Amino acid sequence: MQPNELTSLQEFNNIKNSEDLVLVYFHSDKCSVCHSLLPKIINFCEKYHIELFLVDSNKYPEIPSQNLIMSFPALFVYYKNFEIIKMVRFVDLTILQNKINEFRNEFGLRYNF
C-alpha cells in the first residue's frame, strides 16, 4: 500500500469524513524520529487495513498550523469526521493498536487482527 500525500486543507478536511478509519501522519524533514517511524506506520496500516495519509509539514505548513500541530511526529486517526486517536511527539504502536481495537469493538466495525 502506497500512502497518499495530502497537499491542502481541503483534502485534509475531505478525508476526515471517510466512512472508514483513516490515519493521518504529520512529519517534518528535520525530524529523525519521523523518518524512522514512517515505515512502521506504513506496515501498521497495511496490517490493520487502515488508509494512510501523509502530511509533509515543511511543504504544506498550513495543514498542521490550522490543526494546532507544533510538534512532530503527529498521528491522528479519524472516523466520520471525528478524531478518535491523537498521538503527538510520542507514538506507541502497541497503544495505537489497542485503542483501534477498542474503537472497532465498541462500534462493531469489521477488522482483521
Instruction: Say if 56 falls within a structural domain.
Output: yes
Structural domain total, the chain: 1
pLDDT digit string, tens, across residues 46-67:
999 899 999 999 999 999 999 8
Whichever domain contains 100, its CATH number is 3.40.30.10
Instruction: Say if 113 falls within a structural domain.
Output: no
Instruction: Say if 112 falls within a structural domain.
Output: no
pTM: 0.91
Q: Does 113 score more than 70 pLDDT?
A: no
Instruction: Say if 67 falls within a structural domain.
Output: yes
Range of the domain at 70: 4-107
Q: How far apart are CA 90 and CA 73, in angstroms?
A: 7
Instruction: Give the contacts of 28 (CB within 8 A, at least 6 positions apart).
Output: 34, 56, 57, 58, 72, 73
Residue 102 is which amino acid? E
